[in-house]
Amino acid sequence: MDNLIEVTDLHFSYGKRKVLKGINLTIPRGKIVGIMGSSGCGKTTLLRHFGGQLHPSRGSVKFMGQVIHELSIEQLFKARLRMGMMFQVSGLFTDLSVFDNLAFPLREHTNLPEELIHDLVLMKLHSVGLRNAHKLMPGELSGGMERRVALARATVTDPALIIYDEPFAGLDPISLSTIANLIRKLNDALGVTSVVVTYDLAESLKIVDYIYFIHDGIVVAKGEVDEMTNSQDPFVRQFLHAEPDGPIAFQYPGRPYTEDLNFKS
């Protein structure tokens, strides 16, 4: 199967702290791939390599056959135009209307006439059920509506890849289910490829085609949904069933607690 993204032996450190320690994964075209793991495992750092915000210390990320960190600035900007991003906090421009939030990337990166931009924006808003909300300001939107606008904006340039960073965080059950269904429907209708980074297992397991579990900077498990839900892998079981004991430690690594207290028995 043709892969849109190929990550090979990816290493990265913040100073002396190693975050990615040899990530290997592929994102097939047309699929929804979930990336899961505990806080601090390297998920966001991995996403930043997709867009070229970070350069690996070793290894590579290929997007549509191009090694991202080897691209020139001009080439990188062109590659980013093929990517859409739905940010964890929506990231809408608070001083722009819903319509202008969607029109912004089209005005910034294309030479399309305003009449066509108008129609494209309304089409994208219609796809998420908010065509009639185009005159509203972000401050007038509910949390669920704000996420739907952010989702529409992520698709407005018809990207090849859409990245969702915690798309379900802070949503009520109805809004959460609506966003999850929209991600699946838009992915299939537009023929795009989607990467979903989330902690919400219940909803994500309903829509993803494949899952990667990351822990301590490496991929510790991967597979299709049925395979992962029936897995006996200790990490997968602890994560999926929210078990307190297992390979995922609660405490950040360091010396024993008693040493910090200068405890003497």
Could you report the per-residue pLDDT of 112-132, keeping only the tens digit for each? 999 999 999 999 999 898 999
Instruction: Output the pLDDT for position 144.
Output: 85
Confidence of residue 111 (pLDDT cuts 50, 70, 90): very high
What does each C-alpha distance from 56 to 160, 244, 247 come to in angstroms?
Answer: 23, 33, 27
Instruction: Output the pLDDT for position 101.
Output: 96
Say what the pTM is: 0.84
Give percent of the chain above pLDDT 90: 52
* Dist CA 65 CA 137 (whole Å): 39
Q: Which residue has the higher pLDDT, 265 or 211?
A: 211
Helix (H) / strand (E) containing 101: helix 98-109
* Dist CA 248 CA 207 (whole Å): 25
Q: Which residue has the higher pLDDT, 61 or 174?
A: 61
Is the pLDDT assigned to residue 139 strictly greater than 90? yes
Instruction: Output the pLDDT for position 255.
Output: 73
Handedness of CA 141, 143, 144, 150 (dihedral sign): positive
DSSP secondary-structure letter at 195?
E
- Segment 244-250 mean pLDDT: 62
Is residue 64 a contact partner of residue 160, using CB atoms and an 8 Å limit? yes
Instruction: Output the pLDDT for position 93.
Output: 93
Lowest mean pLDDT, pick from 12-26, 58-72, 165-179: 165-179
Helices 173-190 + 114-127 axis angle, to 10: 130
Is the pLDDT assigned to residue 9 strictly greater than 90? yes
User: Which parts of 39-97 fold into alpha helices (H)?
Assistant: 43-50, 73-80
Is the pLDDT assigned to residue 40 strictly greater than 80? no
Q: What is the three-class DSSP state of 155?
A: helix
Confidence of residue 239 (pLDDT cuts 50, 70, 90): confident
Q: What is the three-class DSSP state of 159?
A: coil
Residue 60 dihedral angles phi and psi, to the nearest 5°: -155, 160
CA angle, corner 60, sides to 52 and 187, nearest 5?
A: 65
Q: What is the three-class DSSP state of 46?
A: helix
* Dist CA 185 CA 5 (whole Å): 21
Other CB atoms within a 10 A radius of the CB of residue 90 amount to 19
Instruction: Output the pLDDT for position 216.
Output: 83
Confidence of residue 163 (pLDDT cuts 50, 70, 90): very high
Give percent of the chain above pLDDT 70: 92
Could you report the per-residue pLDDT of 53-98, keeping only the tens digit for each? 999 999 999 999 999 999 999 999 999 999 998 887 778 999 999 9
Instruction: Output the pLDDT for position 87.
Output: 82
- Segment 144-173 mean pLDDT: 88
Instruction: Output the pLDDT for position 120.
Output: 95
* Dist CA 27 CA 2 (whole Å): 9
Token pair belonging to 215: 């822990």
Is the pLDDT assigned to residue 137 strictly greater than 90? yes
Q: What is the three-class DSSP state of 137?
A: coil
* Dist CA 11 CA 145 (whole Å): 38
Domains in the chain (CATH in brackets) are 1-74+195-252 (3.40.50.300)
Confidence of residue 229 (pLDDT cuts 50, 70, 90): confident
